[in-house]
């Protein structure tokens, strides 16, 4: 049974924090205590936060569902209420995002990228490249121009059904043109954009690294490079979800939990979260980080806003049940 709950979970600093985790870094977190806000799922992923109505959405990949819950305004220790099913079945959903019209975009393990329309219908935006089935779209981001960039590792496709012999990073333009941006990464995963949208950050699971690539005005990607190596032999986990805060720091999951990396590639801080798969920022004041980890979703509180929700934000156009969020 999937449940919304509030349960503090101790989360100590890593036993051997990096030298770069200095006094300034320790000020990132108001508390290192994790609060469990959802439990009882199978494998949570893809969290996103909608500021307009204080709603957190996330995927349960093997549970074949997308869920949503409300993060209560002004309440920090009892943050979640009213877990609802957004879509089930949902094509084994993974990464979630909103486009510029507030429509929900989903990367599916079934080989598609979809968009939920205001009337409740689901539009398949991508399912093949040059006539060949996509592998298993994993994560996605939306550029200021409205392009959708998504990763396509093979996690959700059986070897006998694969048609592409590489795992690409693809770009889908608003007119429906699909192009291959990057194909050199053997196991790409999470994606994030720098605040000025000129740099694409990528999780490289095989090499336990965060990569960076320059994005051109024409949508091209160049200068693919390793930004940071997330190494800790004593901890389980590999880079997966990636996000960028207001200060430009890159937050990602990795060995042992969350890693916070400066834009120059040095480690700023870490937070112990066993089984962490992805994260997003949110909360009515922008000072919460939500972390998917196995069957649960956790929250930690920050000392400063990590996102800046617009004061005049409004929910997406009203739609029948199942169309929104």
Domain boundaries, the chain: 40-252
Strand 257-261's sheet: what is its strand order?
242-244, 250-254, 257-261, 267-272
Q: Is the pLDDT of residue 42 over 50?
A: yes
Average pLDDT over residues 85-99: 97
pLDDT of residue 324: 35
SS3 label, residue 153: coil
DSSP state string for 22-45 = -HHHHTTBS---EEEEEES-SSEE
Phi, psi of 119 (to 5 degrees): -85, 5
SS3 state of residue 53: helix
> Looking at 11-15, 51-55, 148-152, 207-211, which range is the least confident one?
11-15
Q: With cut-offs at 50, 70 and 90, classify the pLDDT of residue 192.
A: very high
Task: Compute and round to an integer the Cα radius of gyration of the chain.
Answer: 18
Q: Per-residue pLDDT tens for 241-257? A: 999 999 999 999 999 99
Using an 8 Å Cβ cutoff, are 2 and 36 in contact?
A: no
What confidence score (pLDDT) does residue 105 get?
Answer: 98
Token output for 91: 């094509």
ω into 124 cis (within 30 of 0): no
Give the pLDDT of residue 82: 73
Compute the average pLDDT of residues 37-48.
96
pLDDT digits (tens, 9 = 90+) for 262-290: 999 999 999 999 999 999 999 989 999 99
User: What distance in Å separates the CA atoms of residue 136 and residue 167, rounded to the nearest whole number?
Assistant: 9
Whether 34 has a pLDDT exceeding 50, the answer reads yes
In the CATH hierarchy, which top-level class contains the domain 40-252?
mainly beta
**Is the alpha carbon torsion for 224, 156, 124, 56 positive or negative?**
negative
Q: Looking at residue 323, what is its pLDDT?
A: 36
E strand map for 24-100: 34-39, 44-50, 55-60, 65-71, 80-87, 93-98
pLDDT in tens, 100-136: 999 999 999 999 999 999 999 999 999 999 999 999 9
Calculate mean pLDDT across residues 295-318: 73
Tell me the mean pLDDT in the region 28-45. Answer: 94
Quote the pLDDT of residue 207.
95
Beta pairing class for 267-272 and 276-282: unpaired
Mean pLDDT value across residues 168-191: 97
Range with the poorest average pLDDT among 1-15, 173-187, 237-251: 1-15
Residue 297, pLDDT score: 96
Q: Is the pLDDT of residue 311 over 90?
A: no
Angstrom distance (rounded) from CA 201 to CA 187: 14
- What's the average model confidence in pLDDT over 45-70? 95
> Is the per-residue pLDDT at 16 higher than 60?
no
pLDDT at 241: 97
pLDDT, position 77: 43
The single residue listed with the structure tokens 């920050």 is 302
Q: pTM here?
A: 0.88
3-state secondary structure 168-207: CEEEECCCCCEEEEECCCCCEEEEEECCCCCEEEEEECCC
Strand partners, 260: 251, 269
State residue 13's pLDDT score: 41
Query: What rounded mean pLDDT belongs to the chain?
Result: 88
Give pLDDT, residue 308: 82
């Amino acid at each position: 049974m999937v449940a919304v709950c509030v349960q503090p979970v101790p989360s100590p600093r890593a036993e051997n924090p990096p030298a770069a985790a200095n006094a300034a870094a320790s000020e990132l977190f108001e508390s290192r205590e994790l609060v469990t806000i959802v439990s009882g799922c199978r494998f949570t992923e893809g969290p996103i936060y909608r500021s307009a109505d204080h709603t957190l959405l996330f995927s349960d990949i093997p549970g074949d569902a997308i869920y949503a819950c409300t993060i209560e305004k002004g309440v920090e220790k009892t943050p979640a209420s009213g877990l609802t099913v957004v879509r089930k079945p949902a094509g084994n959903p993974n990464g979630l995002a909103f486009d510029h019209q507030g429509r929900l975009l989903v990367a599916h393990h079934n080989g598609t990228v979809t968009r939920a329309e205001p009337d409740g219908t689901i539009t398949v935006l991508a399912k093949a490249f040059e006539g060949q089935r996509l592998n298993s779209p994993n994560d996605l981001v939306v550029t200021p121009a409205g392009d959708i960039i998504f990763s396509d590792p093979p996690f959700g496709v059986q070897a006998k059904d694969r048609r592409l012999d590489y795992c690409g990073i693809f770009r889908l333009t608003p007119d429906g043109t699909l192009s291959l941006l990057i194909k050199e990464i053997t196991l790409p995963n999470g994606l994030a954009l720098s605040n000025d949208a000129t740099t694409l950050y990528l999780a490289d699971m095989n090499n336990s690294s965060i990569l960076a690539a320059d994005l051109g005005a024409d949508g091209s990607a160049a200068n693919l490079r390793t930004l940071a190596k997330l190494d800790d032999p004593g901890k389980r986990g590999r880079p997966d979800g990636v996000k960028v805060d207001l200060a430009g720091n890159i937050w990602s999951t990795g060995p042992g939990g969350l890693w916070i990396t400066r834009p120059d590639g040095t480690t700023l801080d870490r937070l112990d979260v066993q089984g962490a798969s992805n994260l997003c920022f949110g909360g009515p004041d922008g000072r919460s980080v939500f972390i998917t980890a196995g069957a649960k979703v956790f929250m930690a509180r920050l000392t400063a806003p990590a996102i800046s929700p617009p004061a005049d934000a409004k929910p997406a156009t009203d739609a029948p049940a199942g169309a929104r969020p």
